[in-house]
Chain A
Amino acid sequence: SQKIEQNSEALNIQEGKTATLTCNYTNYSPAYLQWYRQDPGRGPVFLLLIRENEKEKRKERLKVTFDTTLKQSLFHITASQPADSATYLCAPLPGGYQKVTFGTGTKLQVIP
């Protein structure tokens, strides 16, 4: 069956460092992979999408990589700030009309 794994343990890092979050998937062949941010008590908010033919995508301090051979995506936040503290979710996305499922999310805590 399809499985999406994210590090369920919280990630604590010092302000200014780079945070790296991992998303591994099995029994999937996604056309895209999305990353979302979720703050406590709120719905997830879309951050970035990377396509299967793209190795890397950047947006301001965010960087996402996508390795379809390893079936893994890495999500990096450089120069992290306390405001980056949140839970980050990945979603391997099939093309077209297929359902979208999420990983369990990784809680990031940036310590001042």
Chain B
Amino acid sequence: NAGVTQTPKFQVLKTGQSMTLQCAQDMNHEYMSWYRQDPGMGLRLIHYSVGAGITDQGEVPNGYNVSRSTTEDFPLRLLSAAPSQTSVYFCASRQTSGEYNEQFFGPGTRLTVL
């Protein structure tokens, strides 16, 4: 059981470039989400999904797109990177029922936009 995996671990982009952050989970969790974490700001929810084909916006969705074609994968797309998107990005997944409903987090992607 790999849990939640994220690639890449580190990425440097130039302003205006696009890229996709990959996230996959092998726990058959329905719920998946993307957060960004900046110093002093805590975890802020970007987008989330409650199942394949269903996505919704979180607190800070602007500049990011998501899709969920399978239960396992939930990629995050930056269409035109901006320096304000420099951050650490965490993907997470959880069941929507069960005893604890805890979220399992990936190791993070550290993104720098120059």
A residues contacting B by CB (< 8 A) are 6, 8, 32, 34, 36, 41-46, 49, 89, 91, 93, 96-97, 99-105
Interface residues on B, range: 20 to 34
Q: Are A89 and B43 in contact (CB under 8 A)?
A: yes
Q: Which residues of A contact B107 (CB under 8 A)?
A: 42-43
Q: Which residues of A contact B97 (CB under 8 A)?
A: 96
Q: How close is B41's CB to chain A, nearest CB, in angstroms?
A: 7
Q: How close is A30's CB to chain B, nearest CB, in angstroms?
A: 11
1/0 per residue, CB under 8 A from A, across B30-46: the answer is 11010100001111110
Q: Which residues of B contact A100 (CB under 8 A)?
A: 33, 45, 48, 94, 103
Q: Are B108 and A96 in contact (CB under 8 A)?
A: no
Q: Are B101 and A93 in contact (CB under 8 A)?
A: yes
Q: Which residues of A contact B90 (CB under 8 A)?
A: 43-44
Q: Are A99 and B33 in contact (CB under 8 A)?
A: yes
Chain A interface, DSSP helix/strand/loop, else mixed: loop
A103 to B41, CA, bound (A): 9
Q: Are B102 and A42 in contact (CB under 8 A)?
A: no
1/0 per residue, CB under 8 A from A, across B92-109: the answer is 101011011111111110
Q: Are A101 and B108 in contact (CB under 8 A)?
A: no
6 A-B interface contacts by CB (under 8 A)? A42-B107, A44-B103, A46-B102, A46-B103, A96-B96, A105-B42
Q: Which residues, 74 to 114 on B, are CB-close (under 8 Å) to A? A: 90, 92, 94, 96-97, 99-108
Q: Are B56 and A99 in contact (CB under 8 A)?
A: yes
Q: A97-B96, A103-B42 are in contact. Are A43 and B33 (CB under 8 A)?
A: no
A49 to B95, CA, bound (A): 14
